[in-house]
Structure 1
Amino acid sequence: MTIQSAFQHEEKRLEDVLSHIRIQLRAIGPRYTGDDFTEQMIDLQTEQRRQRLEVSHREPYFGRLDFQEDAKSEPTPLYIGKAGVAHEQTNDLLVIDWRAPVASLFYAFSGGEDPVTYESPDGEIGGTIHLKRNLMVREGKLDRLVDSYVRGQEDESVTDEFLLYRLGESKDNKLRDIVSTIQQEQDRIIRTDKNKAVFIQGVAGSGKTTVALHRLAYLLYQYADRISAERMVIFAPNRMFLDYISGVLPELGVGDIKQTTYTEWAIEQLQKTVRIDDNADSLAYWFEQPRKREEMERSPGRLKGSMLFKQAVDAKLEAVEATLLPQQPFEPIEGMVLTPDTVQSWMLTDESSEPLMRRRTRLVSRLKRWFESEWKSRRMTDSKLKAKANARLNAFSKKIPSFTATQLYASLMDDESVAALLPAEDRTSTKKRMKQGTAAPEDLAPLVYIQLRLFGSDQPTYDHVVIDEAQDYSPFQLESLRLCQRRPSMTVLGDLQQGIHGYAGIHSWIELTALFDLDDSGYFELDRSYRSTMEIIEFANQVLRGMGDGVKPATPVFRSGEPVEVVSCEEMERLRLVKDSIQAWTEDGAYRTIAILGRTAKSCEAIWEHLTAAGLKASLVRSKQEAYGGGLTVVPVYLAKGLEFDAVLIADADAAYYGPDDAKLLYVGCTRALHKLKLLHAGTLTSLIQPQD
């Protein structure tokens, strides 16, 4: 069959499927507006189905796999899409959901005539692949067809053609789903068992964030009867990043998953009893000028986020519990005696797995019930005597102290074990913050951990937790999240090579993986970068030369582009050259998203003002910004992590701005670019960049 005849065949088949989708959409009636709860739930399910059908009408499928099961005489064409679509009368599948077991063949198969298998609910199914076809459908129209495999006609040159075509497209201001181009190594992670803490080390542009989001969609499909979207949570580094990834899950038909930052979540867990200290802005301190690695290692974030500090917190909690109960007998009236051993046994046997302060509350209630029972059994009626007994009961209850998380955390600063870890200045400032009801970012993990150990959480446990940019998390942060699950079910992803928050994050994945038993965890590496051209990736890899983090350098897909430009200029010319470069890129029209990365917030503001005065429409990204609008953007390099742009201009690649310990920061800047990268420097070029030939 020629390409033309195949295209015509697929167009006809596409129109047939679209006609069935339209029939099903027309059959859905108007929304229910009454008060009946059952009808409301039915309407909600119907509305979700309507939304899935509307997505399918725009792009019903993206792939075709002709699979011949063993013992069958002919192959069956299987069309793979974002959502399954069945015939409205026969219920035969017109489109197979990409998460279905058989669809795994589409992602796992890379050619060859050997038999293949997949795991179905009924066991292993074997067979042979006759055709693997990529299809691009946009707004109900077939735009592109690529056969990546035809049995008996091996042609490796077309294997990556469809992938390279998609990678070459321009970016907008939102992260896109990758369901049509999921690679074999990515699919293996997505389909990993639910009851594991999955750690993903992924180089810049390896698709780790989208893999994590697709994993959520897969888990909801595969374990629909055991987990729910409402009991999942995504942790991202900031609100702007959450806005950037916000379109992926709805496009995959998934909603109602909580998306937050660790700071917001922690303050919520602490019931807003603390607020972040405005003077504790670690971003400004750590990034506005180069910092030595030794200084980062001694930072409060590293110390308070360590497992040594957690051990000190655990010891404090154990000491509080051991001394919580009075050692004297309680005698509300003469002859009515409650021994310390009895009180202790009540504390230990009454819901002993409950948090400490909940058990304290339960114990106080039991003391009251004990007294009332004893009073009645003795048939006592003296009201004055009972009033005195109740006063003694209240006094005895007060001897069982009640703590808040901030009170216990402040008192922890006086313990010898903490004095051996933290400098006196930090311990003093911590106690001061607790009195003021404020907290530094590094205080949140121990505070939340103490809160959960004392009071538990008012929220249901999480079915699954996703942590993005996890290289910037401390072990203590992960421990606080572990308390919110019955058993480990996490997707923890990041890149040690982008660990720019070394003052708070980890230096090795072992710091986090060691928190889990081997049977409860899995570790994956994604070292293939799909974002940038070969020239950009090879340039960025050179920036990291000699870092020695034990992480493989990024391997680019075979997508060549323009060479990386490194341009020297005089300081007084810098702003003009930035403007001239952007004007040329803008007039060219090849790039939908352009970023200018500056080393500091102040330098970015100066660039933005210069561009605005020249009539260029640019947006300036500031700390704590909640949305990224696309187009032309000026952003401090330390706020650009997680984003990507068609073209990137690094405005100040000077030795004065990027010292030997800033390799990861410059690497982050370089790897934001998909197609074009240019660096300017005035005076001495940073030693992180090798001289260009």
Structure 2
Amino acid sequence: MEISVQNAYDEEMKRLEDTFTEINRQLAELKNIPPYTGHDHTEQVLDSIRDSRRRSLAVAQTEPYFGRLDFQEAGQEQPTPLYIGKVGVEKDTTLQLLVVDWRAPVASLFYSYTGGLDPVEYDSPDGLVAGLVYLKRNLVIRKQILQRVVDTFDRTGNNMAVTDEFLLYRLGENKDNKLRDIVSTIQSEQDSIIRAVKNSAMLIQGVAGSGKTTVALHRLAYLLYQYRDQVRAERMIIFAPNRMFLDYISGVLPELGVGDIQQTTFADWALELLEQEVKLVDPVEQLRYWFQTGPARPIMDDSAAGRFKGSVRFMQWLEQAIGQYEASAAPKTDFSPWAGAKLSQQTMQEWYDVEYRFEPLMKRRDRVLARVKRWLEMELDKVWETSLKKDYKKNGSARLREFTKSWMGYTPFSFYKELFQTASKAKFLTAELYNEIPQELLASTEALLKKKRVMPEDLAALLYIRSKFVGIHGDLTFDHTVIDEAQDFSPFQVALLNLHTRNQSFTILGDLSQGIHAYMGIRKWEEFTALFEEGKTAYFQLNRSYRSTLEIIYFANEVLKLGLEQPVALAVPVFRSGDAVNIVQVEEAALIPSLIAAIHKLQTGDITTVAVLARTEARSEALFKQLNAAGLPVNLISAGQQHYEGGISIVPTFMSKGLEFDAVMIMDVDGLNYPATEQDAKLLYVGCTRALHSLQLWHTATASPLIETIQGDFVVR
């Protein structure tokens, strides 16, 4: 080890020991203070502060920091070493900062600084602070052991520009079955997204492996830190594509010391709000339909029901239908419980139209009916003769029940079902509005609703009706909403979530090149930006891919170029080279033995997670049975699964989106399974970009036109 490197290591070891001593001392003191269980508010607040400190110190106890930045503020004589960690740590006796929280303003320099001798500045609560960076150092600490010290900039030495050595070291690490935080390797373009202002809808177009999901999760942690008086974790929500993906990302926020953020899928959230009144058509059957192969494969275009029901126009259609119900809902006759007593229709209409006009529709109905009931009670109070009063009460109660039935109360589902009746039964639709819905869509929806079944594209409509009928209460409003894999969301879904989100505070992320659910998703980001107020959106594009080797990225880009007329963006790889992409052709009879041999060869190296991707779920199940019968320990991942176990996984390609593996082997990459269509190019691109270090494409029949002409040093056959 060189002397300068050894000196740096020794210096950091001494600093680390001092830091551990202080953290352990503070933890010991806090653990000796028993939890407060009384009712004094001041003591409760103090106990909460102590508990928060305990949790922060526990995070810092094994890995207190990951970076060091020596910064000399303008006007100061000497640079100050700043150690950057996941949580801030102060020295009890002096309040001196031992560790700076990565979310603090000054810590932004650690991520934004890219080298050079010029002054830099950061935005603090007191304004811009300028100064000079003297040292930028990356540190790897694992279980209280200092493993690595890397200087990426040293003003006093030979290293005058930030290098990627540490980033490449971290990217070269193998993955397990969980997504991890990137707090030690956040790049400048990622940091600008994380620290963007809260009250705007941020749309992030990011290529595969650009860190979109981790950036969004780190943004949540930053918002909770920066806007701690305005946002609460329990009022934040993440919408993920499926439950398995939620399991995959479940470790990131706890690693950052953040808890209580809601994490769900749109379908699960919607069904809970609808109180399980409806059931969703089996998603497995849907996916099998949309991702089947051969001539029966459905065409994914704007005629798909999901595209129509996911449109803003369908939302407007519903709004008109609800408006027609609102105009006709109130009774058109007087209420007369007995001869000589009458509550005029005009009076009730005024209650409905004027006094309760700001209430949700069903609450307006309930308020008017409650007032009619109160009027009836007051009229009965005017009757003194006992037997007459008894008769009036009996007759009045009967007529009130009839009156209430005439003003039918709807649930979101019962109203939605009413809309999809035949034309002669459509109560709330004009002929013009009724005829706007394609007849085949009317028939198919009516048939499903009779069985209390709905398609995923019906859920936004049902929740929109719910918002009009019962309103959106405080516990259903969010301080910030994250939508992951947003290219598979519809404009209607996002417009609906905007009703639930304060100040249009969104992080919306995805990749149009991975839009494999085109039967319900979007074609361009403008479909979302049009939903928000002018000046309330920001668009970011992340084109640098950190996941895969440059060989894999070059190959995946070629797939896109062959299948898409105009890709939205091509990935720019980090300079991390590996093995060439391997295209393997074998005879059908030799496929399984060859596949097993290839997996064993991968496992002799550093590969720990392997994915075998198949075009359909049926093919995945067949491969699983064959490999399992041959004694290979494999896991089958299927639609609806909630956990990813790591190891060797058999996965339908469409289920692999969002995951990553050390090695990926894509099966049956032939003309039948992957013809030269835009949709199949996107699906194959998804499969290719799941691989970190090794990618193989296997076929027994003629190779897919999406790969057969790809040439270059990055591919071997």
What is the TM-score when the length of structure 2 is the normalising length? 0.92
Of 354-363 and 256-265, deviating more is 354-363
Q: Are residues 253 and 280 of structure 1, via their aligned partners in 2, closer, same or farther at CA, if it must alter by over 3 Å?
A: closer
Question: Are 2:474 and 1:474 equivalent residues in the alignment?
Answer: no
1:559 aligned residue = 576
- In the alignment, structure 2 segments of 5+ residues that lack a partner are 422-428, 713-717
Aligned residue type for 1:666: L
Question: Are 2:684 and 1:666 equivalent residues in the alignment?
Answer: yes
C-alpha distance in 2, partners of 1:629/1:79? Answer: 35
Contact 2:291–2:297 (8 Å) recurs in 1: no
Contact 1:598–1:636 (8 Å) recurs in 2: yes
C-alpha distance in 2, partners of 1:375/1:604? Answer: 72
Displacement of 1:357 in angstroms is 0.8
1:438 aligned residue = 453
Of 331-340 and 492-501, deviating more is 331-340
2:366 aligned residue = 361
SS at structure 2 position matched to 1:2:
helix
Q: Are residues 147 and 351 of structure 1, via their aligned partners in 2, closer, same or farther at CA, if it must alter by over 3 Å?
A: farther
Q: Are residues 390 and 609 of structure 1, via their aligned partners in 2, closer, same or farther at CA, if it must alter by over 3 Å?
A: closer
C-alpha distance in 2, partners of 1:240/1:156? Answer: 44
Q: Which of 156, 171, 191 is matched with 1:167 structurally?
A: 171
Q: Which of 500, 517, 523 is matched with 1:507 structurally?
A: 523
Of 49-58 and 227-236, deviating more is 49-58
Aligned residue type for 2:28: R
Q: Are residues 14 and 668 of structure 1, via their aligned partners in 2, closer, same or farther at CA, if it must alter by over 3 Å?
A: same
1:57 aligned residue = 61
Q: Which of 691, 695, 698 is matched with 1:680 structurally?
A: 698
1:611 aligned residue = 627
C-alpha distance in 2, partners of 1:348/1:521? Answer: 36
SS at structure 2 position matched to 1:483:
helix
Q: Are residues 335 and 419 of structure 1, via their aligned partners in 2, closer, same or farther at CA, if it must alter by over 3 Å?
A: closer
Displacement of 1:514 in angstroms is 0.9
C-alpha distance in 1, partners of 2:64/2:515? Answer: 39
Contact 1:59–1:137 (8 Å) recurs in 2: yes
Displacement of 1:288 in angstroms is 2.3
Displacement of 1:554 in angstroms is 0.7
Deviations 1:85-133 (A, max 9, x none): 0112212110010011111111111111222221211222222211111
Aligned residue type for 2:358: S
Q: Are residues 664 and 351 of structure 1, via their aligned partners in 2, closer, same or farther at CA, if it must alter by over 3 Å?
A: same
SS at structure 1 position matched to 2:504:
coil
Query: When the two structures are aligned, how many residues end up with a matched partner?
Result: 692
Displacement of 1:333 in angstroms is 5.1
Question: Are 2:400 and 1:398 equivalent residues in the alignment?
Answer: no
Aligned residue type for 1:21: I
Q: Which of 2, 5, 12 is matched with 1:3 structurally?
A: 5
C-alpha distance in 1, partners of 2:657/2:187? Answer: 23
Percent same amino acid among aligned pairs? 50
SS at structure 1 position matched to 2:30:
coil
Aligned residue type for 1:506: I
1:183 aligned residue = 187
C-alpha distance in 2, partners of 1:471/1:530? Answer: 21
Structure 2 counterparts to residues 320-335 of structure 1, below 5 A: 320-332=325-337
Of 39-48 and 105-114, deviating more is 39-48
Aligned residue type for 1:509: W
Q: Which of 9, 18, 22 is matched with 1:16 structurally?
A: 18
Displacement of 1:45 in angstroms is 5.2
C-alpha distance in 2, partners of 1:136/1:317? Answer: 59
Deviations 1:559-588 (A, max 9, x none): 1111101111222222222111101112x2
Of 148-157 and 544-553, deviating more is 148-157
Contact 2:310–2:520 (8 Å) recurs in 1: yes
Contact 2:116–2:161 (8 Å) recurs in 1: no
SS at structure 1 position matched to 2:253:
helix
Question: Are 2:592 and 1:575 equivalent residues in the alignment?
Answer: yes
C-alpha distance in 1, partners of 2:507/2:311? Answer: 21
Deviations 1:290-327 (A, max 9, x none): 67684443221111111121121111111000111123
Q: Are residues 300 and 333 of structure 1, via their aligned partners in 2, closer, same or farther at CA, if it must alter by over 3 Å?
A: same
Of 68-77 and 343-352, deviating more is 343-352
Displacement of 1:375 in angstroms is 5.5
Q: Are residues 175 and 156 of structure 1, via their aligned partners in 2, closer, same or farther at CA, if it must alter by over 3 Å?
A: farther
Contact 2:513–2:567 (8 Å) recurs in 1: no
1:633 aligned residue = 649
Q: Which of 533, 551, 561 is matched with 1:545 structurally?
A: 561
SS at structure 1 position matched to 2:333:
coil
2:551 aligned residue = 535
Q: Are residues 124 and 691 of structure 1, via their aligned partners in 2, closer, same or farther at CA, if it must alter by over 3 Å?
A: closer
SS at structure 1 position matched to 2:325:
helix
1:213 aligned residue = 217
Q: Which of 79, 91, 102 is matched with 1:87 structurally?
A: 91
Displacement of 1:330 in angstroms is 3.3
Of 425-434 and 414-423, deviating more is 414-423
Q: Are residues 164 and 389 of structure 1, via their aligned partners in 2, closer, same or farther at CA, if it must alter by over 3 Å?
A: same
Deviations 1:362-401 (A, max 9, x none): 2212222344456657989752334433443443333322
1:347 aligned residue = 352
C-alpha distance in 1, partners of 2:38/2:230? Answer: 27
Contact 1:83–1:95 (8 Å) recurs in 2: yes
Deviations 1:182-205 (A, max 9, x none): 111111111111111111111100
1:131 aligned residue = 135
Aligned residue type for 1:580: A
2:234 aligned residue = 230
2:322 aligned residue = 317
Contact 2:64–2:99 (8 Å) recurs in 1: yes
SS at structure 1 position matched to 2:702:
coil
Contact 2:561–2:567 (8 Å) recurs in 1: no
RMSD between superposed Cα atoms in Å: 2.4
Contact 1:198–1:492 (8 Å) recurs in 2: yes
2:715 aligned residue = none
Aligned residue type for 1:13: R
2:668 aligned residue = 652
C-alpha distance in 2, partners of 1:255/1:84? Answer: 17
C-alpha distance in 2, partners of 1:442/1:30? Answer: 55
Aligned residue type for 2:683: L
2:510 aligned residue = 494
C-alpha distance in 2, partners of 1:341/1:121? Answer: 59
SS at structure 1 position matched to 2:210:
coil
Contact 1:31–1:43 (8 Å) recurs in 2: no
C-alpha distance in 2, partners of 1:646/1:197? Answer: 34
Structure 2 counterparts to residues 224-303 of structure 1, below 5 A: 224-278=228-282, 281-289=285-293, 294-303=299-308
C-alpha distance in 2, partners of 1:156/1:617? Answer: 50
SS at structure 2 position matched to 1:281:
helix
SS at structure 1 position matched to 2:508:
strand
Q: Are residues 292 and 622 of structure 1, via their aligned partners in 2, closer, same or farther at CA, if it must alter by over 3 Å?
A: closer
Deviations 1:664-684 (A, max 9, x none): 000000000001001111121
Q: Are residues 489 and 144 of structure 1, via their aligned partners in 2, closer, same or farther at CA, if it must alter by over 3 Å?
A: same
1:453 aligned residue = 468
1:585 aligned residue = 602
C-alpha distance in 2, partners of 1:358/1:447? Answer: 17
C-alpha distance in 2, partners of 1:192/1:549? Answer: 30
Contact 1:67–1:78 (8 Å) recurs in 2: yes
- In the alignment, structure 1 segments of 5+ residues that lack a partner are none
C-alpha distance in 1, partners of 2:14/2:605? Answer: 35
C-alpha distance in 2, partners of 1:156/1:33? Answer: 51
Aligned residue type for 1:322: A
Displacement of 1:256 in angstroms is 1.1
Structure 2 counterparts to residues 359-398 of structure 1, below 5 A: 359-373=364-378, 382-383=388-389, 384-398=391-405
